[in-house]
A and B are shown apart, each in its own frame.
Chain A
Amino acid sequence: MSAAMENAIEVTGLRTHYGQREILKGISISIPRGKTSVILGGSGCGKSTLLKHLIGLLRPTEGKIAINGRDIAAMDEEELNGVRRKMGVLFQGAALLNSLTVAENVALPIREHARLNESTVMIMVRMKLDLVGLSGFENFYPSQLSGGMKKRAGLARAIALDPELLFFDEPSAGLDPVTAAGLDDLILKLRNVFGMTIVVVTHELPSVFTIADYVIMLDAGEVIFSGILDDLRNSQNERVRMFLERRPETRTYSPDDYFRFIVGD
Chain B
Amino acid sequence: MPSKTEAFFGSVGRRVILFGRDVHYASKIINDAFYWTFVSPVKGKPVRVRATISEIVKAGYNAVPIVAVISLFVGIILALQAAYQLKRVGALIYVANLVGVSITRELGPILTAIIVAGRSGSAFAAEIGSMKSAEEVDALVTMGINPVRFLVTPKLLALMFMLPALTVFADMIGIFGGFLLSTTVIGIHPYNYFQQSVNALLVKDVMTGLVKAWAFGIVITIVGAYQGFKVEGGAEEVGRRTTASVVASIFLVIVFDLFFTTLFYYFT
Name A's B-contacting residues (CB within 8 A).
52, 55-57, 81, 84-85, 87, 89, 91-93, 95-98, 108-109, 112-113, 157
Q: How far is the CA of A89 from the CA of B136 in the complex (A)?
A: 11
Return the CB mask of B117-155 against A: 1 if under 8 Å, else 0.
Answer: 000000000000001001110111111110000000000
Q: What are the 8 A-B residue pairs with the smallest beta carbon separation, nearest first?
A: A95-B139, A81-B144, A95-B135, A109-B143, A89-B142, A91-B135, A84-B144, A95-B136
- In the bound complex, CA of A58 to CA of B139 (Å): 13
Judge whether B138 and A57 touch: CB under 8 Å. yes
B130 → A minimal CB distance (Å): 9
Is B135 a contact partner of A92 (Cβ separation < 8 A)? yes
- Please report the number of residue pairs spanning A and B whose Cβ atoms sit closer than 8 angstroms: 45
Chain A residues with CB under 8 A of B143: 84, 108-109, 112, 157
Shortest Cβ distance from residue A178 to the other chain B in the assembled complex, whole angstroms: 25
**Is A109 within 8 A of B144, CB to CB?**
yes
Are B134 and A93 closer than 8 Å at their CB atoms? yes
| Residues of chain B contacted by A113 (CB below 8 angstroms) | 144
B145, A89: Cβ atoms under 8 Å? no
CA distance A93 to B135 in the complex (A): 8
Q: Are A112 and B135 in contact (CB under 8 A)?
A: no
| Interface size classification for chain B | 10 to 19
Name, among B131, B139, B140, B145, the residue most crowded by chain A CB atoms within 10 Å (CB to CB). Answer: B139
A97 touches B135 (CB 8 A): no
CB of B145 within 8 A of CB of A95, answer: no
Interchain CA distance A95-B136 in the complex, whole Å: 5
Q: How far is the CB of A41 from chain B (nearest CB, A)?
A: 20
Q: Give the docked Cα–Cα distance between A91 and B139 (Å).
A: 7
A157→B143 CA distance, assembly (Å): 9
Q: Which residues from B are CB-within-8-Å of A157?
A: 143
Residue of B at shortest CB range from A160? B143
Distance in Å from the Cβ of B54 to the closest Cβ of chain A? 9
Whether the Cβ atoms of A97 and B131 lie closer than 8 Å is: yes
In the complex, are the beta carbons of A84 and B136 less than 8 A apart? no
Question: In the complex, what residues of A have CB within 8 A of residue B140's CB?
Answer: 97
Q: In whole angstroms, how far apart are the Cα atoms of A109 and B140 in the complex?
A: 9
The reply to whether B139 and A112 form a contact with Cβ atoms under 8 Å apart is no
Q: How far is the CB of A111 from chain B (nearest CB, A)?
A: 9
Which single residue of chain B is at the shortest CB-CB distance from A113? Answer: B144
How many Å lie between the Cα of A95 and that of B140 in the bound state?
A: 9
User: Which residue, A85, A93, A157, has most C-beta atoms of chain B within 10 A?
Assistant: A93
CB-defined A-B contacts under 8 Å, sample of 14: A56-B141, A57-B141, A57-B142, A87-B142, A89-B142, A91-B139, A93-B134, A93-B135, A95-B136, A96-B139, A97-B131, A112-B143, A112-B144, A157-B143
A211 nearest CB across to chain B (Å): 21
List residues of chain B with CB within 8 A of the CB of A55: 142
Smallest CB gap from B149: residue in A: A112
Q: Give Cα distance in the complex from A157 to B135, angstroms.
A: 14
Complex alpha-carbon distance, A93 and B234, angstroms: 13
Known interface pairs A95-B138, A109-B144, A112-B145; 14 further A-B residue pairs with C-beta atoms within 8 A, sorted by A's residue number? A52-B138, A56-B141, A57-B141, A84-B142, A85-B144, A87-B142, A92-B135, A95-B135, A95-B139, A97-B131, A108-B143, A109-B143, A109-B145, A157-B143
